[in-house]
């Protein structure tokens, strides 16, 4: 397997605060990787730096063997690097279908778009029912579905999801993860940032644990689930 | 289109065409002039609506583009440099120049949002005005605070609009000629706004307005899209500036103060940001209302037999109260964009 994403010594700073402090991270083609960690560990900042939404203060990464540092975010998307942002970021006053089409904004092959829409509606039947409704009227879970669907519209090779379960009812979280599993089964490489470590580890191949901007543990997802430190800190298993 | 809306459209068209004649006959020249200015304000408000309403970029220096268009016309069609270029050259030139200034304003503000953007645009508006005020030395370009006068009157091909024409016994004086010229400009601006709103670019602007970070992560080139919004909005300002200069025959930096920018923004917000009909209504209302309130002195005399409060002071007070009331009663604007209306009423 080839590494699709190779992050080396990535640093992100906001003013004097170091959010990401020398992160090394690899994602193989077709792999499902989870980044777990507490609030403020630097997970979201790592994803934002990869998507080009914040400029790294040091280090860098290659994607498909290419250095994308100097490439603006809108061109990263057209190379198959898609981010589902934290807090979903749906466009409230656009309809669901308009939101989805926004995800394919950079695509020149407009004849393929109806097919892409059908693909997303196939994954999320709820969105199809409400496609002419304004996104702001959707529930939180439906907005998360929309945000994921919108990112899929760009036909990503690497899909980065930032806290897809945030603020959702347990039943809805299950549903969202079911779809994420389906997306992975279609061959999309996943980089998942998640607080719900149990669900995230269950669908991942490998996991990185992040603390105060640093990677403190790398292992297979199965091994992480057995790791006493992970169990105590992220799986709510006080007994070890 | 059903029969009823077709009827309404035809009714509106007849009303708009007959309005200057009726006004001229009933209220006199001065009021037709007010209508002419109202149309210029409609043009300005439609331009600012692209920036504020569509792309969500708060611009408090919009009058700068009006000034650029006006001075472009004034300098190339007056004895100032003894140039007398025709309207069909100067209007596109003014629009283009204003667009360049739009990009000039946009570039340093790309990373700014909300209040910070407003402050920078406010500064930009003032810079342009102060430049115009001071560009009379060492080389006299703008004639400084005295302004440029004796600007060539507007004429379209062989029709000199300052002449009074007679068509079938109906007298058509300057102010009515101008009204129709401005009406054509407003019509084109409305058409263009409608096209933009429904286009791919219009949707991208809406996405940036809603959530810029998400828009960028979707692969939207937010930099170019924002610059385009500034440039497109500025062209409307440039064109109306040219028309203003030709109509007035005189421009000076006095006409391009911050107050004008604020007024145009009020028109957009009060009318209904993002909705063309609302913006047009807001512009007409806010440009006609202060003039209509000049009648307050006469009203006092009629009611009380004498003038109690200086009408020019009272006029501003009543105007201010009217603005506050409108915002309290309809915070979403008089004719809001449909989506906006829903948001406001859901939260109540």
* Contact criterion met (CB < 8 Å) for A74 and B220: yes
User: What's chain B's average pLDDT?
Assistant: 89
Judge whether residue B227 has pLDDT over 60: yes
- Show which of residues 213-232 on chain B sit within 8 Å of chain A, judged by CB atoms: 213-223
- Flag whether B25 is in a domain: no
Instruction: Give residue-wise pLDDT tens across range B119-153.
Output: 999 999 999 999 999 999 888 999 999 999 999 98
- Flag whether B2 is in a domain: no
Instruction: Give residue-wise pLDDT tens across range A144-182.
Output: 999 999 999 999 999 999 999 998 999 999 999 999 999
Complete domains list, chain A, with CATH: 3-234 (3.40.50.300)
Q: Which of B197, B202, B211, B214 to mutate to test the interface with A (most CBs of A within 10 A)?
A: B214
Q: Which of B204, B216, B218, B275 to mutate to test the interface with A (most CBs of A within 10 A)?
A: B218
**For the residues of B148-196, what is the DSSP string, one character each?**
B-SPPPPEETTEETTSPEEETTEEE-HHHHHHHHHHHHHHHHHHHHHHH
Judge whether residue B343 has pLDDT over 80: no
Instruction: Name the band, by pLDDT with cuts 50, 70 and 90, for residue B232.
Output: very high
Query: What stretch of H or E contains B144?
Result: none
Structure confidence at residue B1 (pLDDT): 59
User: What's chain A's average pLDDT?
Assistant: 91
Q: Which of A90, A105, A139 to mutate to test the interface with B (most CBs of B within 10 A)?
A: A105
Q: Which range (B106-115, B260-269, B312-321) has the least confidence?
A: B312-321
Nearest to B71 by CA among B231, B236, B250, B247: B250
- Flag whether B4 is in a domain: no
Percent of chain B with pLDDT over 70: 97
Nearest to B232 by CA among B91, B103, B71, B57: B103
Query: What stretch of H or E contains B129?
Result: helix B114-134
Mean pLDDT, to the nearest integer, of B216-243?
95
In contact, B230 and B7? CB cutoff 8 Å: no
Structure confidence at residue B341 (pLDDT): 64
Instruction: Give residue-wise pLDDT tens across range A14-33.
Output: 988 999 999 999 999 999 99
Judge whether residue A213 has pLDDT over 50: yes
Mean pLDDT, to the nearest integer, of A110-118?
90
* Contact criterion met (CB < 8 Å) for B220 and A105: yes
Backbone phi, psi, residue B308, to 5°: -80, -50
Tokens of B229: 């919004």
Contacts of B218 in chain A (CB under 8 A): 77, 102-103, 105, 150-151, 154
Using CA coordinates, name the residue in chain A closest to B210. Answer: A91
Judge whether residue A240 has pLDDT over 50: no
Contacts of A137 in chain B (CB under 8 A): 342
- Flag whether B116 is in a domain: yes
Under DSSP, is residue A65 helix (H, G, I), strand (E, B) or coil? coil
Judge whether residue B203 has pLDDT over 60: yes
- Flag whether B243 is in a domain: yes
Residue B253's domain spans which residues?
30-274
Nearest to B74 by CA among B201, B228, B256, B221: B256
* Contact criterion met (CB < 8 Å) for B216 and A73: yes
Instruction: Give residue-wise pLDDT tens across range B16-33.
Output: 888 999 998 899 889 999
Tokens of B226: 């924002």
Percent of chain A with pLDDT over 70: 98
Nearest to B154 by CA among B90, B98, B222: B90
| Beta pairing class for B155-156 and B83-84 | unpaired
Instruction: Name the band, by pLDDT with cuts 50, 70 and 90, for residue B114.
Output: confident
Contacts of A101 in chain B (CB under 8 A): 203
Look at A231 and B65; give whichever has higher pLDDT.
Answer: B65
| Beta pairing class for B159-160 and B155-156 | antiparallel
Judge whether residue B340 has pLDDT over 80: no
> How close A228 gets to chain B, by Cα (Å)?
36
pTM comes to 0.88
* Contact criterion met (CB < 8 Å) for A154 and B219: yes
Nearest to B143 by CA among B151, B154, B132: B132
Strands of A94-183, DSSP E: 158-162
Residue B278 CA, distance from chain mean position:
13
Query: What stretch of H or E contains B205?
Result: helix B200-210
Mean pLDDT, to the nearest integer, of B292-308?
80
Structure confidence at residue B158 (pLDDT): 75
**Half-sphere exposure for B76 (CA within 13 Å, toward CB):** 17
Q: Which residues pair with A3 in a beta bridge?
A: A28
For chain B, what is the domain count? 1
* Contact criterion met (CB < 8 Å) for A154 and B213: no
* Contact criterion met (CB < 8 Å) for B214 and A91: yes
* Contact criterion met (CB < 8 Å) for A105 and B204: yes
Using CA coordinates, name the residue in chain A closest to B219. Answer: A74
* Rounded-to-integer distance, Cα A193 and Cα B7, Å: 58
- Residue for token pair 């778009």: A113
* Rounded-to-integer distance, Cα B337 and Cα B278, Å: 8
Crossing angle between the packed helical segments B258-271 and B311-329, to the nearest 10 degrees:
40
Instruction: Name the band, by pLDDT with cuts 50, 70 and 90, for residue B342.
Output: low
Structure confidence at residue B348 (pLDDT): 42
- Flag whether B316 is in a domain: no
Q: Which residues pair with A21 in a beta bridge?
A: A11
Find the angle CA(A181)-CA(A92)-CA(B224) to the nearest 5 degrees. 95
- Flag whether B288 is in a domain: no
Q: Which range (A36-40, A97-101, B250-254, B307-311) has the least confidence?
A: B307-311
Instruction: Name the band, by pLDDT with cuts 50, 70 and 90, for residue A239.
Output: very low
* Rounded-to-integer distance, Cα B11 and Cα B314, Å: 36
Structure confidence at residue B315 (pLDDT): 80
Residue B144 CA, distance from chain mean position:
24
- Flag whether B329 is in a domain: no
In contact, A86 and A45? CB cutoff 8 Å: no
């Amino acid at each position: 397997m080839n590494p699709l994403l190779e992050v080396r010594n990535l640093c992100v700073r906001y003013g004097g605060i170091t959010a990401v402090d020398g992160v090394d991270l690899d994602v193989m083609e077709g792999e499902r990787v989870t980044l777990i960690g507490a609030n403020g560990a630097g997970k979201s900042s790592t994803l934002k730096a990869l998507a080009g939404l914040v400029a790294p203060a040091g280090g860098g990464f290659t994607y498909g063997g290419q250095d994308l540092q100097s490439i603006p975010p809108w061109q990263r998307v057209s190379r198959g690097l898609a981010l589902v942002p934290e807090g979903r970021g749906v466009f409230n006053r656009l309809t669901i279908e308009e939101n989805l089409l926004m995800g394919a904004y950079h695509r020149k092959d407009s004849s393929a778009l109806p097919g892409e829409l059908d693909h997303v509606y196939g994954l999320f039947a709820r969105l199809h029912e409400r496609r002419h409704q304004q996104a702001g009227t959707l529930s939180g879970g439906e907005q998360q579905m929309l945000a994921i669907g919108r990112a899929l519209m760009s036909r990503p090779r690497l899909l980065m999801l930032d806290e897809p379960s945030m603020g959702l009812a347990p039943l809805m979280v299950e549903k969202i993860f079911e779809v994420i599993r389906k997306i992975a089964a279609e061959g999309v490489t996943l980089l998942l940032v998640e607080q719900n470590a149990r669900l995230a580890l269950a669908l991942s191949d490998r996991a990185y644990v992040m603390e105060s901007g640093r990677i403190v543990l790398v292992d297979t997802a199965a091994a992480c689930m057995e790791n006493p430190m992970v169990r105590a800190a992220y799986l709510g298993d006080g007994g070890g | 289109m059903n029969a009823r809306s077709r009827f309404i459209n035809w009714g509106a068209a007849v009303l708009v065409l007959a309005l200057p004649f009726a006004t001229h006959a009933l209220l006199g020249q001065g009021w037709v002039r007010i209508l002419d200015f109202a149309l210029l304000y409609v043009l300005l408000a439609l331009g600012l609506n692209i920036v504020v309403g569509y792309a969500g970029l708060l611009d408090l220096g919009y009058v700068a583009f009006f000034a650029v268009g006006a001075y472009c016309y004034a300098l190339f069609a007056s004895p100032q440099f003894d140039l007398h270029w025709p309207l069909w050259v100067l209007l596109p030139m003014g629009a283009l120049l204003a667009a360049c200034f739009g990009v000039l304003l946009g570039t340093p503000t790309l990373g700014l949002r909300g209040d910070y953007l407003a402050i920078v645009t406010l500064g930009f508006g003032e810079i342009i005005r102060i430049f115009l005020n001071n560009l009379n030395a060492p080389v006299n370009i703008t004639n400084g605070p005295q302004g440029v006068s004796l600007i060539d009157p507007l004429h379209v091909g062989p029709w000199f609009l300052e002449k009074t024409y007679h068509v079938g016994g109906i007298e058509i004086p300057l102010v009515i000629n101008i009204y129709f010229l401005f009406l054509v400009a407003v019509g084109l601006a409305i058409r263009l706004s409608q096209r933009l709103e429904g286009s791919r670019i219009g949707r991208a602007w809406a996405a940036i307005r809603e959530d810029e970070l998400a828009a960028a992560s979707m692969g939207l080139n937010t930099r170019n899209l924002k610059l385009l919004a500034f440039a497109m909005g500025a062209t409307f300002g440039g064109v109306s500036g040219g028309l203003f200069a030709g109509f007035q025959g005189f421009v000076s930096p006095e006409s391009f103060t911050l107050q004008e920018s604020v007024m145009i923004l009020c028109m957009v917000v009060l009318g209904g940001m993002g909705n063309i009909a609302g913006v047009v209504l807001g512009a007409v209302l806010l440009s006609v209302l202060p003039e209509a309130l000049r009648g307050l002195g006469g009203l006092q005399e009629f009611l009380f037999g004498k003038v109690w409060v200086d009408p020019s002071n009272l006029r501003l007070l009543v105007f201010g109260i009217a603005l506050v009331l409108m915002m309290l009663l309809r915070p979403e604007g008089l004719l809001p964009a449909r989506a906006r209306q829903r948001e406001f009423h859901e939260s109540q």
